[in-house]
Structure 1
C-alpha cells in the first residue's frame, strides 16, 4: 500500500486549500488503496477572504495549519514534520492557498517565489525519485520543483500557461476530466477547478491524477 503525503494550504478556495479538491483527493487515495497523512505550513496565511463577498477581511489573521485542520478533521501535522523517507508520493490540492500560502504566484505571477519550507519538501520528493501530483493552480510550481522543461497543465488558461512557460515549464492543454503525466520528472497534474463546473468533473480529473501518481509510485 502506497503511503502519500498531502499538503493543504489552508481552508477555502479564495485564501486556502479548495475544499472540494482536498476532500476528493483524500477520497481518491482511499478508493485506490493508498494511505495518507495531511500536512500544512504552521504560519499565518496571506490574508483572510470573506467567501460570501470575495472581499479581504481587514484586521483578521488565520493560521494555515489551524485552518487546514478543519478539512483533515484535526488529523494533520506541521509541514516541518514531513519526512520524505516515510512517504511514497506527494499530492497538493489547489485553491488560491497554493498560490498565496505555498508560493506568491497570486501576487507576483511569473516572478513568483516558492515558500522555502514547501519547496525543500517538494524537491526532496523529486530528488528521491518519488512522484508528485499537483492540482488546479498548484502546477505553476512544477518547474520550480522539478526543473526547467517540466510538463504540466492547469487546463487551457492562456495567461497562466504563458506564466508557466516564462518560469521554465512546458504547459500541456488538458480537459477537466483528465491528468497529464511527465513520466521523466514523475510530475502529474490536473486542472480541477481551473476548469470544473461541477464537483463530478473535478473528481474525474483528480481521480485520474491520483491513479497516475500511484502508478509512478
Structure 2
C-alpha cells in the first residue's frame, strides 16, 4: 500500500498546515502504511511572515522547496507522480490550498482548482482510489468532484466553508474534530481538524480516525 500526500508549502499562512501533515504521517506510520509526499514545482502565491502575520512582498518561494521542509526526505514533484503508483490520496489543509492549489483566495465562490491538482483528484476518483482530506482541503474536493457525482458528502465543523461546499453540490455533514466522516459511495473520508478546534489532541484523534477509515476503504 502506498499513499500520496499532497503538500502545498510549509506553514498555515501560505502552505500546508504543519500539524495536520505531521499527524497524518503519525497515523500512517501507526497503521504501517507507506507514503510518498509530493508538491508542485512552482512559485507559491506569496510569502507570509508567520511572526508578524504580514505578506513579505519582496520574497518569492517555491512550493516544492518549502514542502520539502516537511517532506521527510521522501518528496517528489507532482509531475513525477503517476496515479498507478498510488493506492490513495491524502490532502492536508492550510491556507496553501486556497493560495497555491487553487485561486480561492482571489476569486472566492468563482474559484478554480489548479489544473494539475484538479486532474489528480479527478483521476484518483475515477480510478476508484480513496481520497482523504481535512480542514480547508475539503473545498478542493468539492470543486473538483461536485459535478462528477450526484451525491457528494463531506464534513465540516462550526459551519466552516458550508456555503461554498453546498454551492458545489455537496451534502454537508457537521461533525467535531474528534470525528471523521466516510462517504462510502464516493470513497472519500474527511475530518474538520482545525475548523473545529485549536486542541491538537482532539485533531490527532480525528486525523487518526480519518486515516483508519481511509485504509479500510483501500482494503
TM-score of Structure 1 vs Structure 2, range by shorter chain: over 0.9
Instruction: Report the CA distance between 1:107 and its aligned residue.
Output: 2.5
CA distance in 2, matches of 1:130, 1:163: 25
CA distance in 2, matches of 1:207, 1:196: 16
Is the 2:5–2:38 Cα contact (8 Å) retained in structure 1? Answer: yes
**Counterparts of residues 22-61 of structure 1 (less than 5 Å):** 22-61=21-60
CA distance in 2, matches of 1:173, 1:195: 10
Instruction: Report the CA distance between 1:82 and its aligned residue.
Output: 1.2
Mark the runs of 5 or more structure 2 residues left unpaired by the alignment: none
Is the 1:4–1:34 Cα contact (8 Å) retained in structure 2? Answer: yes
Partner of 2:92: 93
Structure with greater strand percent: 2
Partner of 1:116: 115
Instruction: Report the CA distance between 1:39 and its aligned residue.
Output: 0.4
CA distance in 1, matches of 2:158, 2:185: 22
Matched, 1:156 2:158: yes
TM-score, normalising length from structure 1?
0.95
Is the 1:110–1:164 Cα contact (8 Å) retained in structure 2? Answer: no
Partner of 2:182: 181
Partner of 1:80: 79
Is the 1:110–1:167 Cα contact (8 Å) retained in structure 2? Answer: no
Write out per-residue CA displacement over residues 23-67 of structure 1, whole angstroms, 9 at most, x where no aligned residue. Answer: 110110110121000000111111111101111111111000000
TM-score, normalising length from structure 2?
0.94
The RMSD of aligned alpha carbons is 1.2
Mark the runs of 5 or more structure 1 residues left unpaired by the alignment: none
Is the 2:97–2:140 Cα contact (8 Å) retained in structure 1? Answer: no
CA distance in 2, matches of 1:144, 1:28: 27
Is the 2:146–2:168 Cα contact (8 Å) retained in structure 1? Answer: no
Higher deviation after alignment, 162-171 or 36-45? 162-171
Is the 1:142–1:169 Cα contact (8 Å) retained in structure 2? Answer: no
Count of matched residue pairs: 215
